[in-house]
């Protein structure tokens, strides 16, 4: 099927190129502005008690929602000084009333919580004209230039301000990552291909994929909220996979040309072999990342949308625009050659290749290879066993960011956790008013029970509306800490007032609900990814053993990578070098995102390697020799692709946002481990143990696969790299 597709692309190459150019133009002019339409939230769990609490507060106590906190300080005057008050009110008076619908201050409320311990600072709590806290970021973006200090020191924080800073830094990080990686990628591609013409093709496809994915994301914003962090995953995956696939396709095309095939036939054979591998790899990676959409959190769903868009467009571009470019270039793909040292290529008999010799050596002593490798991976993964899960706060920002500095000042100079309150909404049944005598008695007893909880710093009723009352529970622990989460659990376990419903909300309660939701959905995500991968690998290679081996080795390499992430980002080793603040916790959604992406990428390299092994197995039936030949034929491509992908993802380690930095570092470590230690050392050793059994499947499935499986075209004899004669494909039952 893909061979016929290759014929079609070669004939309609100019049409394919025009369509590709159209994608680039639309992406540059329209899709490139997607950042203006993305949201900064998406961590809430729909239908949870914390979200229902937030919705009820929004409906019944709208003025209690605080989107922006403006902190005013004067080292020479206190809040009782009329000049201080005048300066603050003058500053607030300049804000547009249409966007700022509510302002609470010390002078309007008389509440002492608005005054710092030294009485030289106060804050104003602002509610913006937005339907919810997440959309308040957009309103703040329109008015942030209108804040004036008015003769006093001014700092801004709050959910809308933090999310605005996060959004701004995310877009800057994306641009910086592209700027940092592009020149290095071009240099490495020139070294890999030995010529500028071939080296430019992967970057051209990468640009098309990124711009096309931005266009898809912008279209998705018409249907649903999409997180601003999807920009990172699109750039990372889109550019990385486009280069991976282009490297594989261009490399195979040059092999076919070197074998003496004319251009059209070389395109056909490239699509029948490398194109098939790219198609299976793309589908496998897309399914793995697409499993994120089962989570209810908008953040993870957005990553699923963006990741699938990037993978699918990378796959389509590599099967349409790229072969069309190759059909146009033909032998000119080798133009603009760069003189390089000899020994760069893989010419000559395969048995003389260094990767072949290394694989054969490792398979002669599989125990001496496998045991130390497994021990190393398990040792690296041990810190993961003590992972502590947290959430996203202002501490994900660089330490000198204005919103983070102001938030930390609030915690230091005012009542702790003003920006992360623990809110309890009590709603009485039967229309009973919350300010009735009996209701007041119940509320007083209830707040007393809350105040006596370990870790609570008092509880008080802050607002009453009809049949509902709002209670704020004070606490001094870090909002994302286990102590704070335990307090939420205890608050929820306290006996509620008679005939009343209690909903506990706030940032810590939202984290508790999020962790429960992630734990409930994670097994289903893993099941989807594993089953889909096993089915696709069976369709590609006709074995039931290889998919099981692939899943087990992926789990081992991921365990090691997550252990490194915990050691660095939770425990804080290297925090000064990398420039982040370790909080002792990890945002739980990020490892899940990494799990989906890295599982897919691991299968990407698995497909590349097994495809070459299957080619030789079909020709020879020699299980051991097939492994060595497959490693020799694919190792250089896989290591080159991994190196290029590491350059792309490592560029995100320069991000100012700590969890984006964590993804960059974690993925780079995982890819290096997977390609070097797992694929090129452990995998040959394991396959040596398995021998012919690696290709085993029950006889009925073998017969089904021989009729319906999608098989790789046999490798050309004219390459001069195999000494075995061509033979019928053989698959033992």
Q: Is residue 520 part of a domain?
A: no
pLDDT of 711 reads: 57
Taking the C-alpha atoms of residue 561 and residue 670, their distance in angstroms, rounded to an integer, is 5
Given pLDDT bands bounded at 50, 70 and 90, which one contains residue 731?
very low
pLDDT digits (tens, 9 = 90+) for 291-314: 999 999 888 888 898 889 999 999
pLDDT-based confidence at residue 170 (cuts at 50, 70, 90): confident
In b/e form, how buried is each residue of 31-69, taking b as 16+ CB within 10 angstroms? beebbeebbbbbbbbeebbbbbbbebbeebbeebbbbbb
Shared domain check, 192 and 143: no
Q: What is the pLDDT of residue 273?
A: 84
For 545, the token pair is: 């053993």
Whether 138 has a pLDDT exceeding 90, the answer reads no
CATH number at residue 28: 1.20.1640.10
**Quick one: 329 and 378 in the same domain?**
no
Domain total for the chain? 4
- Looking at 123, 157, 191, the residue that finishes a domain is 157
Is the pLDDT assigned to residue 263 strictly greater than 60? yes
Tokens of 484: 């704070």
* Residue 733, domain member (yes or no): no
Residues 256 and 329 both lie in one domain: yes
Residue-level pLDDT at 237: 84
Q: How far is CA 463 from CA 64, 469, 472, in A?
A: 8, 6, 9
Give the pLDDT score at 225: 82
Q: Is the pLDDT of residue 402 over 60?
A: yes
In a domain, 434, yes or no: yes
Q: State whether 93 and 242 are in the same domain.
A: no
Which CATH number belongs to the domain containing residue 133 in this structure?
3.30.70
**Predicted confidence (pLDDT) at residue 3 exceeds the cutoff of 50:** yes
Identify the pLDDT of residue 128: 92
What is the spatial distance between Cα 680 and Cα 677, in angstroms, rounded to a whole number? 6
Please check whether residue 715 lies inside any domain of the structure.
Answer: no
Structural domain includes residue 209: yes
| Average model confidence (pLDDT) across the chain | 86
Looking at residue 350, its pLDDT comes to 65
Same domain, 293 and 208: yes
Query: pTM for this structure?
Result: 0.82
pLDDT attached to residue 348? 54
Average pLDDT, integer, range 431-438:
85
What is residue 183's predicted lDDT score, i.e. its pLDDT? 85
Q: How confident is the model at residue 147 (pLDDT cuts 50, 70, 90)?
A: confident
Q: Which of 27-36, 171-180, 708-717 has the lowest mean pLDDT?
A: 708-717
Q: How far is residue 240 CA from its own chain's centroid?
A: 13
Residue 472, φ and ψ in degrees, nearest 5: -105, 130
- Does 532 fall in a domain? no
362 shares a domain with 339: no
Coil/strand/helix, residue 66: coil
DSSP category for residue 124: E
Is there a single domain that holds both residue 296 and residue 427?
Answer: no
Sheet containing strand 121-128, edge to edge, reads 100-104, 121-128, 68-73, 153-157
Q: 218 and 152: one domain?
A: no
SS3 for 457?
strand
Q: What are phi and psi of 421, to 5 degrees?
A: -70, 155
Last residue of one domain, picked from the residues 127, 157, 187: 157
State which residues form the domain around 74.
67-157
732 secondary structure, DSSP code: -
Residues 130 and 113 in one domain: yes
What is the DSSP track for 476-498?
Answer: -S-TTSHHHHHHHHHHHHSPPPT
Residues 225, 320 within the same domain: yes
The verdict on 551 and 641 lying in the same domain is yes
Q: pLDDT tens, 550-564?
A: 889 889 999 999 999
Phi, psi angle pair for 124, to nearest 5°: -115, 135
Among 132, 157, 182, identify where a domain stops: 157
pLDDT of residue 633: 81
Which pLDDT tens digit goes with each residue over 16-71?
999 999 999 999 999 888 877 877 667 788 899 999 998 898 888 887 888 999 99
Longest distance between any two alpha carbons in the chain, whole Å = 97
Q: Is residue 721 part of a domain?
A: no
417 and 367 co-located in one domain: no
The reply to whether 197 falls in a domain is yes
| pLDDT of 714 above 60 | no
Between these two residues, 177 and 210, which has the higher pLDDT value? 210
Count the Cβ atoms, other than its own, within 10 Å of residue 363. Answer: 20
């Amino acid at each position: 099927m893909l061979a016929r597709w290759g014929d079609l692309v070669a004939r309609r190459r100019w049409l394919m190129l025009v369509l590709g150019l159209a994608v680039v133009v639309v992406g540059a002019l329209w899709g490139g502005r997607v950042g203006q339409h993305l949201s900064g939230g998406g961590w809430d769990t729909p239908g949870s008690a914390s979200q229902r609490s937030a919705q009820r507060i929004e409906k019944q106590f709208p003025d209690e929602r605080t989107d922006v906190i403006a902190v005013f300080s004067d080292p020479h005057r206190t809040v009782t000084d009329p000049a201080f008050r005048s300066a603050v009110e003058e500053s607030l008076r300049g804000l547009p009333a249409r966007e700022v619908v509510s302002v609470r201050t010390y002078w309007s409320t008389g509440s002492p919580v608005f005054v710092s311990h030294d009485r030289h600072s106060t804050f104003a709590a602002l509610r913006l004209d937005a339907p919810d806290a997440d959309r308040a970021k957009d309103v703040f973006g329109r008015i942030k230039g209108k804040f004036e200090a008015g003769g006093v020191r001014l700092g801004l924080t709050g959910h809308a301000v933090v999310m605005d800073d996060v959004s701004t830094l995310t877009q800057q990080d994306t641009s910086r990552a592209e700027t940092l990686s592009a020149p290095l990628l071009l240099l490495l591609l020139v070294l890999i291909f030995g010529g500028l013409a071939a080296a430019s093709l992967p970057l051209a496809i990468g640009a098309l994929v990124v711009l096309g994915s931005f266009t898809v994301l912008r279209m998705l914003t018409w249907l649903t909220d999409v997180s601003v962090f999807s920009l990172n995953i699109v750039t990372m995956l889109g550019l990385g996979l486009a280069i991976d696939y282009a490297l594989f396709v261009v490399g195979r095309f040059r092999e076919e040309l070197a074998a003496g095939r004319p251009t059209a036939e070389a395109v056909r054979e490239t699509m029948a072999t490398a194109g098939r591998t790219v198609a299976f790899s793309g589908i496998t990676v897309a399914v793995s990342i697409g499993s994120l959409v089962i989570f209810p959190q908008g953040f993870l769903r957005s990553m699923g949308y963006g990741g699938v868009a990037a993978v699918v467009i990378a796959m389509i571009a590599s099967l349409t625009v790229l072969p069309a470019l190759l059909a146009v270039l033909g032998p000119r793909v080798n133009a603009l050659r760069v003189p390089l040292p000899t020994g760069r290529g893989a010419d000559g008999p395969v048995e003389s290749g260094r990767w072949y010799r290394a694989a054969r050596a490792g398979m002669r002593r599989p125990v001496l290879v496998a045991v130390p490798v497994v021990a190393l991976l398990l040792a690296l993964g041990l810190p993961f066993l003590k992972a502590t899960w947290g959430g996203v706060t202002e501490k994900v920002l660089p330490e000198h960011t204005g919103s983070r500095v102001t938030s930390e000042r609030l915690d230091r100079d005012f009542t702790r956790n003003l920006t992360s309150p623990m809110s309890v909404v009590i709603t009485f049944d039967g229309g009973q008013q919350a300010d009735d005598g009996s209701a007041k008695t119940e509320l007083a007893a209830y707040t007393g029970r809350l105040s006596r909880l370990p870790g609570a710093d008092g509880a008080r009723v802050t607002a009453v509306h009809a049949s509902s009352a709002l209670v704020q529970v004070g606490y001094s622990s870090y909002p994302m800490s286990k102590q704070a989460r335990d307090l939420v659990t205890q608050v929820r376990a306290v006996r509620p007032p008679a005939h009343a419903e209690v909903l506990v909300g706030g940032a810590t309660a939202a984290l508790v609900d999020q962790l429960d939701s992630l734990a409930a959905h994670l097994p289903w995500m893993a099941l989807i990814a594993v089953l889909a991968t096993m089915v696709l690998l069976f369709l590609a290679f006709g074995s039931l053993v290889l998919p099981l081996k692939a899943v087990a080795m992926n789990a081992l390499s991921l365990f090691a990578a997550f252990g490194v992430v915990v050691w660095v980002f939770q425990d804080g080793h290297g925090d000064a070098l990398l420039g982040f603040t370790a909080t002792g916790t990890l945002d739980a959604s990020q490892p899940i995102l990494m799990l989906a992406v890295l599982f897919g990428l691991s299968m990407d390299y698995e497909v590349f390697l097994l495809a070459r092994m299957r080619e030789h197995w079909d020709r020879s039936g020699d299980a051991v020799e097939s492994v060595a030949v497959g490693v020799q034929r694919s190792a250089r491509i896989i290591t080159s692709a991994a190196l290029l992908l590491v350059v792309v993802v490592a560029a995100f380690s320069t991000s100012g946002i700590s969890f984006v930095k964590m993804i960059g570092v974690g993925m780079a470590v995982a890819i290096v481990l997977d390609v070097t230690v797992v694929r090129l050392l452990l995998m040959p050793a394991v396959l040596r143990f398995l021998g012919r059994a690696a290709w085993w499947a029950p006889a009925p499935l073998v017969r089904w696969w021989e009729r319906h499986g999608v098989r790789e075209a046999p490798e050309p004899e004219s390459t001069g790299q195999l000494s075995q004669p061509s033979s019928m494909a053989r698959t033992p039952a």
